[in-house]
Structure 1
Amino acid sequence: METRQRTLVKAIVWNMIGLTVMAIVGLLMTGSAAVGGAMAAINTMLGLSMYFIYERIWAHIGWGRKHG
């Protein structure tokens, strides 16, 4: 079972990658760094929260795990 700290670090690293990609996509799609950055920030906040919850739920599901 993963610790909450590990789950949080994984979520933060993953979301920093997503923030960077989303900011670039937002900039390319809108032509505005401010709009692209705002889109990326909102997406990252929502994504981080959802990813953390998702990982914590799966940490309690034994299906597909091999022990030993």
Structure 2
Amino acid sequence: MTDAQRRILILDGAMGSMLQRYKLEESDFRGERFADFGHELKGNNDLLALTQPKIVQAVHQAYLDAGADL
């Protein structure tokens, strides 16, 4: 039996707030992959999984280190 079958699972956290602590700039959101994209990307946190995966990993690790049961 999986955890999802045994109990209610909720993943909710202040991911955006944690990312804001890094004070990322437009160029951080763009990375090399989206350097020439025609629109502003700052604030599109979903892109950070592609352009700044180490930062996203660090935020998730911080939740685990704090005792989150994911």
How does the TM-score come out when normalised to structure 2? 0.34
Larger RCO (CA within 8 A; separation ≥ 6): 1
How does the TM-score come out when normalised to structure 1? 0.34
More helix by share: 1
